[in-house]
Amino acid sequence: MNTSMQKTEQFSIVDLFSGCGGLALGFQTAGFQIMGGIEMDQSASTTASYNLYWKKGIDHEHFCGDITESSSDILEVAPGSSPVVIGGPPCQAYSRAGRAKLNSLGEDRSFHLDSRGKLYEDFLRFALELDAPAVIMENVPESVNYNGENIPHTVCEFLEENQYEAVWTVLNSADYGVPQIRERVIVMAVKRGFGEIANLPAPTHNRHSDYRTQYEARFPGFKESRFFREPNKPEKDAPGWVTVGDALSDLPPLFTDPDQPYSLTKLNVRLPYNHEPQNDFQRRMRSVADKVSGHAFRRTLRDFRIFNDMAPGDNYLNAIEIANVHFKRALRERRVTEKGQPEEYRRIKKEFVPPYSADKFIGKWRRLDPAKPSHTVVAHLGTDTYSHIHPWEPRGISVREAARLQSFPDDFIFNCSMSDAFKQIGNAVPPLMSEAIAKAMLTNLNAVKEVAR
């Protein structure tokens, strides 16, 4: 007799290079159990452990240590267990920003000499040691050309040689309900006998326009790799991309006047929402939260007046023009000239005008447009928030607003410094996109098969 049977076993995951836990959170939401994880940064490891285990009453934690000096034994995986291995090896050696920083430090620090460019090898080593039934690796699109090498292709080739079916693709988080255009390479692999890569993540949102992202234009060239698959297209009637305004409008106002005194709100302070949730995204972010924490922003006194006059989408060139208008007005009001009072002139200029080069900083400042998704949230937020200026208040975004733009729910807590929180958020995989990846992988592992009896 022929019967249709479906695997229903609960799959577990091991989370490598976990950061603060964005990738693991999406898998956990999709039904995977977290068996363990590794993260080198203590603050990020603590954030992940608190949100993935401790606040749920689970007596467990992510291991904090160097994966290159460790084996899978440190995860204390139960004998006979074969967890799915997920993770995002560090991207600094691949990304444009990381390469530029390394190259600026001298020839001996060039990006192609950065050992972090080979950390995917330790990721794969753990996957084989754990006999993982499936593997998911995330990284920046620039990894397709690391000193002439296509890293996703190399990873897929290695996995294929070790009995996996493997593919790689480029996903845009905005297609999965994240209020941010963020393109990332995703490698998905299933070990032979456990399933097949029949499904890529299903988009939930549509751009409803002819807009093309930076890496979509490169899809034809990516097809030179036999492992590359184009991502799925969203349904035509799917809701439109979630915008910055959709994402942030219910959060409490913090700073409405550039001349009001700055007040630091500690990250553990819980504030009431501005109003009831207005859309599905806000309802999803507030599913169990009645108040919101982590709503603190940076003290940038010189620039609040500039931010106030910037229009949505304005960059540093616009900011400099605005600053010079303020500067010249102050000179007239104080009756100061460069020739007459040179020292006072220089002091006032420092008070009003940012000192950065317009040639190098064009894209470093940008005011968010409330009618569009955000541009990519980056780890540099840990240093400053000029790249993401609030769309209607004269300030940089808060920690909670950055978390919203990455789709972290409001009950995801950052028990750390503001700088660490911004860095962790910028380095993370958006949980909503991760959840879509997890659901696709769960379908691939639980494929319905006809079994003859």
Active-site residues: which are they? 91
Amino acid identity of 448?
V
Q: Is 136 left (phi over 0), alpha (psi -120 to 50) or beta?
A: beta
DSSP designation for 372: S
Beta carbons of 281 and 246 less than 8 angstroms apart = yes
Please give the Cα distance from 123 to 85 (Å, whole number): 8
What separation in angstroms does the CA of 241 have from each of 211, 264, 392, 432?
A: 12, 32, 20, 13
Q: Note the Cα 39 to chain centre separation in Å.
A: 16
Task: Compute the Cα dihedral for 409, 414, 419, 425 and give only its sign.
Answer: negative
3-state SS, residue 51: helix
Please give the Cα distance from 397 to 125 (Å, whole number): 39
Please give the Cα distance from 437 to 237 (Å, whole number): 21
Q: How many CB atoms lie within 10 A of CB 161?
A: 9
**Residues with Cβ within 8 Å of residue 176, at least 6 apart in sequence:** 201, 203, 204, 205, 430, 432, 433, 435, 436
Report the DSSP pairing between strands 84-87 and 164-172: unpaired
Amino acid identity of 113?
L
Please give the Cα distance from 354 to 325 (Å, whole number): 13
Please give the Cα distance from 197 to 181 (Å, whole number): 25
| Torsion, CA 190, CA 47, CA 429, CA 418, rounded to 10 | -170
